[in-house]
Amino acid sequence: MWGLSALAGAQSVPEKPWMLGPFVKQNAVNPILNAQATTTFLCPVSRKTVRWEEKDVYNPATVVRNKRVYMLYRAEDTVRRVGGTSRLGLAVSRDGLHFKRLPKPVFYPDQDAMKTYEWAGGCEDPRVVESPNGVYVMTYTAYDGDKARLCVATSKDLLSWKKHGLAFDQYANGKYRNAWSKSGAIVCKRVGDRIVAQRINGTYWMYWGDQPDLRLAVSTDLLHWTPLENRQGKPIPAAESRRGTYDARLIEPGPYALLTPAGILLIYNGMNEPKTGDPNLPDHAYTGGQLLFDASDPARLIDRSETYFIRPDQPYELEGQVNQVVFLEGMVPFRGRWFLYYGTADSKIGVAVAEQ
C-alpha cells in the first residue's frame, strides 16, 4: 500500500506484540497543516486584530465526530516577544488527511477568570476525550509566560467551550497552583470510533507531566484531579526516563492512554539528552515510544518499548521553531486504521497511519 520511502523515520514492524503500529508517515501529503497569515482574530484581551495562526501551527488533538476527523490544533501569532500567543483552532476532514479549517480560533485567552494563567502565553497542547455521557473533555496547558499549568475545559460540540480551571487547584489548598504542570492523558476505552474515558476501580486516571518521570492523577468527575503522591508529598512516578536511550531527558504523554487486551497503552514523547542519552540521535531530539501499564493498576508499569517507533527525518521535522521534533498528541481510529497526528519541529502538523 505504501512505498518504502514512506516508511522512513518509523518502525516497519512493531517492536513488541502489544504495541500499536507500524505507523507509516504520510509523506505524500505531510505536512497536512501549515501556518497561514490570511486569517485574523480580534483578541479580547489585547483588543487588537491579530493574525492568530501566522507563525506556527502544531501539537493537535483529534476526535471522530459525524464520520469526520475533527482536529483542535495549537496556533501561534507573532505578537508576544517569546514566541507568540497560542490559541486553539479547529479543522475538519473527511479522509483524515486533508483538512478544512475554521477562520477563527475556538479556544483562547479571554477576559475571564483564567486570564491570569493564560495571558500572554496562551492556551497550548490540547488532548480531547469523551466522557461517558458524550461531553468532550479537554486537558490543555495554560501558559502565562512563566509557568505552564494543566487545565480542563468541556464542550458538547467542539465549538463552544467551558473552562473549569486548573486541574489540580482544589488539591491540598492549591499546593500545585504555582507549580509547573502540563500534558494530561486520560485513560480511555475505544467505543467504535469514539475514545471514551473509563473508570478503573471506580476512578478516572490520568498520566501527566513533562519531567524525567511520568506522573499520575485520579478524579471522580474528569474535572478536578488529585495528583498521586508518596508519603513525602512528592508525585509518584509511573515510569521514568532511562540513561542511554531516546527518552533520557524526559518523558511526556502523547494522546490519551488506551485500554487494550494487553493493558493500558500510552504513546509518549521522549526527549534525548546530549551526554546521557542515545548517541545515535541528535541532541534534544523528540521521538515517540510506547508504555504498557496494568489494566487494573494504572500505576504498575508492565513493559515499554526499548527504542523509538517514530523519529524526525523529514525537512519540516528537522528544522523549525524547535529543531528535531515529532511530538505525538492526537490519535483516532478511523476507516479501519489508526491516524496518529503530531507536531513537526513545533511549526507544522503531520500524520502517520497504521492498520488496526
Q: Per residue in 177-196, pLDDT tens?
A: 999 999 999 999 999 999 99
Average pLDDT over residues 321-331: 98
Enumerate the H helices of the chain as residue ranges.
115-118, 315-318
What are 343's strand-pairing partners? 327, 349
Q: Find the Cα–Cα–Cα–Cα dihedral 89, 92, 96, 97, rounded to 10°.
A: -70
At 80 the pLDDT is 85
pLDDT tier at 280, thresholds 50, 70, 90: very high
C-alpha 7/C-alpha 22 separation (Å) is 9
When the pLDDT of each residue in the chain is averaged and rounded to a whole number, the result is 96
Q: How confident is the model at residue 12 (pLDDT cuts 50, 70, 90)?
A: confident
The per-residue pLDDT for range 148-159, each reduced to its tens digit, is 999 999 999 999
pLDDT at 3: 35
pLDDT in tens, 55-113: 999 999 999 999 999 999 999 999 987 789 999 999 999 999 999 999 999 999 999 99
Taking residues 118-124, report their average pLDDT: 97
Please give the DSSP secondary-structure letter assigned to residue 235.
B
